[in-house]
A and B are shown apart, each in its own frame.
Chain A
């Protein structure tokens, strides 16, 4: 029972998440068919509430507050949600900070497709499926080549989202294709289809295939600008006990490693779910300080040009339900006035990232900006605005060495004027005499 290992690890590691999770299903039988998956969420401490998607009493908000932190929709065939739910309402939930995991299947309802469109993705039409005539599972497939074996090279290179890709075993997938809109800059291609796959109605001859090759996505997600996380997967079966416990046998002769091994579905699905439920890759700023070197408080109004400044930011990461110091070494600080005037990598000392630099010789309104974007991590942005002023009229050098000749000349002239005045006023006669004397000599 190889699936037990990650689940057991997850149970051991964390039982301290106490978030409320709403799971929507088509029927409550999913408690049995997906018991391992749902159990693993519960085991990590979450309060899981399973409801059918057409329940007339469903709601996500109460008095404008979120009732749940996370929403998992394992109900592909929803044409219309029950209660106050709707794709728009779920999008509002995302905008309010809720995280959503959506699973589709070949029998996909319009509401689920609409929800994908709200987030920059599209599910293919109902009754279509991802077909791969090369990478299907030779033992489980029923003949239309829709049960696909996914290799680790098709996963996104982000440990925080999919776990350790080097160790992951082949994953079984059966379901509908996803594509992303070209304008979707936030999209993460978590699992890409193989180049030989395409999306079509199984059993029909494929003509004018709109979705094919690597453009097809099996699992896709995004982190919204408010750091809410949304993942779409085309296969609800990925989450089932049946696939967790199955053995994969790729029909592709080139992929010998993917023959007769236990599937990696449990590990992958668990990793993705942990990412969606914000158990992974969450950063926060604990404290920011900036001041002149040798001081401890920032100046009350503004810095002056050419001053040495020390900046420190304390970043924490959520690990196993606890905030621990973040240990990344690639966080950069920018000192920006339209363009960054200073860009420096911060030195990380156990979660306290700091740097010293000299303010440029340009006055203006600057921002200390730490803008840390890494795939899998929440977007960390901290901006502190501070003015940099020119020197006070008293702060310039009083005496400049190169000006000493001028000082000397002005003082000598002053002395000269005094002497001349004295001479002019009191020695007039003698001066006249001397002039006359000079004339006489001529």
Chain B
């Protein structure tokens, strides 16, 4: 492809290689650096919720070795059920950091495992950029690859899950995803068993890292099916797919969490079906050259109908017989966005499972969201085997990203690849044989790595019969696109810095005069728990905070973010939404010692438990419909409120009491009435909250975290004054020291005794 432009061919190649290396290295560096905002602003700390568990698990693995980790029975989670960590976790993340730690240790670089965990995702973002370069190179051209690599290095949609401290599966899984796709495309192009086997290996790494591997094992068969239907069947497809499928299935079954799912669940059945179909198609192709057309048609129609019908019947028989699990609720919720809310509230309750707003497409992808359809169009126009793949990838990912905010992450790589193609193709066209523009781009002072690949020296004019465009238009378009790219960089940096670099363990606000105020209530509370409670104390909280309590406070939790047991979560939800005495019975049965609630009414933090409370009620109602009814928690006009109109049940439930206990004693602002809730924006319904069965143990500085302690049963059954059968007549005498007592002047006792004697 590369033509010499006045230079020798070897030096041209050398220059191209050098440029490629430099650009990729810079992409890596910029991607890494832009993810460090959180560390610069705060500190080297693990973020959010799930990363805390990953960190805790990694720490355990590094301390106790891999086999102890694989067989780790965590008695501090899901009390009293416990959790087998090895069998319920994707270990790829932990193993990766453990391996890095081990290698660094071997080289005598002694780094604390936490630092490795914090910096893992930014490091892998560079690898993702390289994998994306290779993928795009296979799909289109090296120039497009460089564009795509630069895009993915800084695109906010990917940065959101891979800033320093965000130690989560997605951080390494996107790399594995892109690399697997690259190897798949490569193996499809070459038809080589080696590449297909490597693809299966990469897939194995993906399976070990993230549950999103299901996307791969459905997308690749879809690609194969599309190729067959388009009449693009080839022996290369047959070799690469069959090799990939067999090896990938066997390898993925080696992950304990996945186990027999690849052969026993409906989500994996399409891959198997395509595997069978490929055999038939291959047999047909073999037969077509050897038998007459008439025979072939009979065989084709008859055989395909019989086999297809048989496959469907067998599948349903297996599902009916329980050998193959039907599609799970999570699968249905991808097609019907209202499904989860009705049937699996626990999934719908997670904010990142909500449908995406169009704003976040722009927010996360910026100019690439607008440009990638162009790339898609180029791919459709110049379709070949591997471009069918990126088309399918983009179309399905766009759909899924629209269903769930979280799946924006899978869309981002596709968008980057296609945008890279679009930009590269456009520049190839508009910078062709143009000496001016390279100079002008070189003179821009952006300093971004991607400005260097704009010249397109390496991307010469392919033999396109372009319609002639004037030089001015070319310049104009090139400069305009360049401005777009610069704006993308600015936007990406801005979003990364402002939206995605918050640890959420530490909150930050601005004071009136613009100073930064750090609110460290979470760590304050967890530290209090760690220092002031018994080692085996059991802390009940809503599941969102389970991992943090385990990770930071090192205390036993009842439920956590690994929401595997819905009924146990429902039990906690029931305790939170019952009145105090009913909740006390549940908590006694679960041996709860402390209860932790998040309350944002003082500082106006909207992610608190009162705002999540309806989900607790819904989840509890799912399991205990007789005791908990969602409508009981609404006002008469059917609104969710804790204000004056709130229902009695709402005002007496444990969650309300724990949130607003002693709240009316404080004033959130000097011109606000007592009991004014800043998050909700009105005065609460019941101000004199009294607690009988629990007592306040700790409340953090900004009231963000409140910890309550379960009281023991009363030692003695005291009678309340209201329940007395015989009322008191005399005055109760106040307590005092060294006072003289008062006796009834009681002469008759003596007299009667005398009589009795």
Chain B, residues 721-757, CB within 8 Å of chain A (1/0): the string is 0011110111111011111111110101110110111
CB of A196 within 8 A of chain B?
A: no
CB of B536 within 8 A of chain A?
A: yes
Give Cα distance in the complex from A107 to B729, angstroms: 14
A110 surroundings in chain B (CB, below 8 A): 728-733
Stretch at the interface among B73-81, B270-278, B461-469: B73-81
B87 surroundings in chain A (CB, below 8 A): 390
Give Cα distance in the complex from A273 to B690, angstroms: 40
**B743 contacts A78, C-beta separation under 8 Å:** yes
Distance (Å) between the CB of B748 and the closest chain A CB? 7
CB of B516 within 8 A of chain A?
A: no
CB of B511 within 8 A of chain A?
A: no
**B718 contacts A119, C-beta separation under 8 Å:** yes
A84 surroundings in chain B (CB, below 8 A): 735-738
Distance (Å) between the CB of A130 and the closest chain B CB? 14
User: Which partner residue on chain A sits nearest B730 by CB separation?
Assistant: A110
**B746 contacts A117, C-beta separation under 8 Å:** no
Stretch at the interface among A148-156, A178-186, A283-291, A318-326: A178-186
**A82 contacts B719, C-beta separation under 8 Å:** no
Give Cα distance in the complex from A363 to B741, angstroms: 61
Stretch at the interface among A86-94, A308-316, A398-406, A423-431: A86-94
**B80 contacts A77, C-beta separation under 8 Å:** no
**B82 contacts A364, C-beta separation under 8 Å:** yes
If A114-B732, A363-B73, A393-B71 touch, whether A109 touches B716 (CB-CB below 8 Å) is no
The count of residues in chain A whose C-beta lies closer than 8 Å to any C-beta of chain B is 85
CB of B8 within 8 A of chain A?
A: no
CB of A205 within 8 A of chain B?
A: no
Distance (Å) between the CB of A373 and the closest chain B CB? 13
Which of B80, B731, B736, B748 meets A366, CB within 8 Å? Answer: B80
Distance (Å) between the CB of A188 and the closest chain B CB? 12
CB of B84 within 8 A of chain A?
A: yes
B757 surroundings in chain A (CB, below 8 A): 241-242
**B82 contacts A57, C-beta separation under 8 Å:** no
**B735 contacts A88, C-beta separation under 8 Å:** yes
Stretch at the interface among A11-19, A220-228, A414-422: A220-228
CB of B108 within 8 A of chain A?
A: no
B589, B729, B744 interface centre (most CB from chain A within 10 Å)? B744
**A53 contacts B741, C-beta separation under 8 Å:** yes
Which of A86, A117, A393 meets B70, CB within 8 Å? Answer: A393
CB of A75 within 8 A of chain B?
A: yes
Stretch at the interface among B478-486, B636-644, B707-715: B707-715
CB of A328 within 8 A of chain B?
A: no
Distance (Å) between the CB of B91 and the closest chain A CB? 13
**B715 contacts A120, C-beta separation under 8 Å:** no
A222 surroundings in chain B (CB, below 8 A): 716-717
Give Cα distance in the complex from A224 to B746, angstroms: 32
**A183 contacts B738, C-beta separation under 8 Å:** no
Chain A, residues 1-38, CB within 8 Å of chain B (1/0): the string is 00000000000000000000000001001000100000
Distance (Å) between the CB of A218 and the closest chain B CB? 16
Give Cα distance in the complex from A110 to B730, angstroms: 6
**A54 contacts B75, C-beta separation under 8 Å:** no
Which of B80, B750, B753 meets A338, CB within 8 Å? Answer: B80
B733 surroundings in chain A (CB, below 8 A): 79-80, 86, 110-111
Give Cα distance in the complex from A121 to B716, angstroms: 11
**B725 contacts A80, C-beta separation under 8 Å:** no
Distance (Å) between the CB of B723 and the closest chain A CB? 6
**A365 contacts B726, C-beta separation under 8 Å:** no
**B717 contacts A119, C-beta separation under 8 Å:** yes
Distance (Å) between the CB of A102 and the closest chain B CB? 13
CB of A210 within 8 A of chain B?
A: yes
**B725 contacts A211, C-beta separation under 8 Å:** yes
Which of B80, B741, B748 meets A78, CB within 8 Å? Answer: B741
Give Cα distance in the complex from A185 to B755, angstroms: 39
Distance (Å) between the CB of A442 and the closest chain B CB? 14
If A57-B738, A86-B735 touch, whether A94 touches B715 (CB-CB below 8 Å) is yes
CB of A246 within 8 A of chain B?
A: yes
- Say what secondary structure dominates the interface of chain A: loop
Give Cα distance in the complex from A390 to B739, angstroms: 65
B725 surroundings in chain A (CB, below 8 A): 122, 179, 210-211
**B713 contacts A225, C-beta separation under 8 Å:** yes
If A79-B743, A80-B741 touch, whether A237 touches B70 (CB-CB below 8 Å) is no
B748 surroundings in chain A (CB, below 8 A): 107
**B589 contacts A83, C-beta separation under 8 Å:** no
A107 surroundings in chain B (CB, below 8 A): 744, 746, 748-749
**B738 contacts A54, C-beta separation under 8 Å:** no
Q: Which of A376-397 contact B (CB under 8 A)?
A: 385, 387-390, 392-393
A80 surroundings in chain B (CB, below 8 A): 733, 739, 741-742
If A113-B728, A364-B80 touch, whether A26 touches B536 (CB-CB below 8 Å) is no
If A109-B743, A109-B744, A237-B753 touch, whether A120 touches B724 (CB-CB below 8 Å) is no
CB of B689 within 8 A of chain A?
A: no
User: Which partner residue on chain A sits nearest B733 by CB separation?
Assistant: A80
**A140 contacts B723, C-beta separation under 8 Å:** no
CB of A261 within 8 A of chain B?
A: no
Give Cα distance in the complex from A109 to B739, angstroms: 17
**B753 contacts A242, C-beta separation under 8 Å:** yes
CB of B590 within 8 A of chain A?
A: yes
Q: Which of A325-356 contact B (CB under 8 A)?
A: 337-338
Give Cα distance in the complex from A119 to B67, angstroms: 57
Distance (Å) between the CB of B365 and the closest chain A CB? 43
CB of A243 within 8 A of chain B?
A: yes
A181 surroundings in chain B (CB, below 8 A): 717, 719, 723
B71, B713, B740, B746 interface centre (most CB from chain A within 10 Å)? B746
**B743 contacts A338, C-beta separation under 8 Å:** no
Q: Which of A132-159 contact B (CB under 8 A)?
A: 140, 142, 147
A78 surroundings in chain B (CB, below 8 A): 741-744
A371 surroundings in chain B (CB, below 8 A): none
User: Which partner residue on chain B sits nearest A25 by CB separation?
Assistant: B743
Give Cα distance in the complex from A258 to B707, angstroms: 62
If A126-B744, A387-B75 touch, whether A226 touches B715 (CB-CB below 8 Å) is yes
Chain B, residues 79-95, CB within 8 Å of chain A (1/0): the string is 11110101100000000
**A240 contacts B756, C-beta separation under 8 Å:** yes
B729 surroundings in chain A (CB, below 8 A): 110, 125-126
**B589 contacts A186, C-beta separation under 8 Å:** no
A147 surroundings in chain B (CB, below 8 A): 756
**A363 contacts B84, C-beta separation under 8 Å:** yes
Distance (Å) between the CB of B371 and the closest chain A CB? 49
Give Cα distance in the complex from A89 to B561, angstroms: 48
CB of A436 within 8 A of chain B?
A: no
Give Cα distance in the complex from A328 to B757, angstroms: 44
Chain B, residues 683-719, CB within 8 Å of chain A (1/0): the string is 0000000000000000000000000000011111111
**A82 contacts B715, C-beta separation under 8 Å:** no
Give Cα distance in the complex from A119 to B718, angstroms: 5
**A114 contacts B756, C-beta separation under 8 Å:** no
Which of A57, A77, A118, A387 meets B743, CB within 8 Å? Answer: A77
**A91 contacts B716, C-beta separation under 8 Å:** yes
If A111-B733, A140-B756, A337-B80 touch, whether A224 touches B716 (CB-CB below 8 Å) is yes
Q: Given known contacts A77-B744, A114-B732, A224-B716, what 10 new A-B pairs fall within 8 Å (CB)? A: A58-B741, A77-B746, A95-B715, A117-B724, A119-B716, A126-B744, A184-B719, A225-B714, A337-B81, A365-B79
Chain B residues with a Cβ under 8 A of chain A: 67, 70-71, 73, 75, 79-82, 84, 86-87, 256, 536, 589-590, 712-719, 723-726, 728-733, 735-744, 746, 748-750, 752-753, 755-757
- Between-chain CB contacts (< 8 Å), 29 pairs: A26-B746, A29-B750, A33-B753, A52-B741, A58-B741, A78-B743, A79-B733, A84-B736, A91-B716, A105-B749, A109-B744, A114-B728, A118-B716, A118-B718, A119-B718, A120-B718, A122-B724, A123-B726, A142-B752, A181-B719, A222-B717, A242-B757, A337-B81, A365-B75, A366-B80, A388-B82, A389-B71, A390-B73, A390-B84
Nearest first, the 5 closest Cβ-Cβ pairs linking A and B are A54-B741, A82-B741, A77-B744, A120-B717, A389-B73
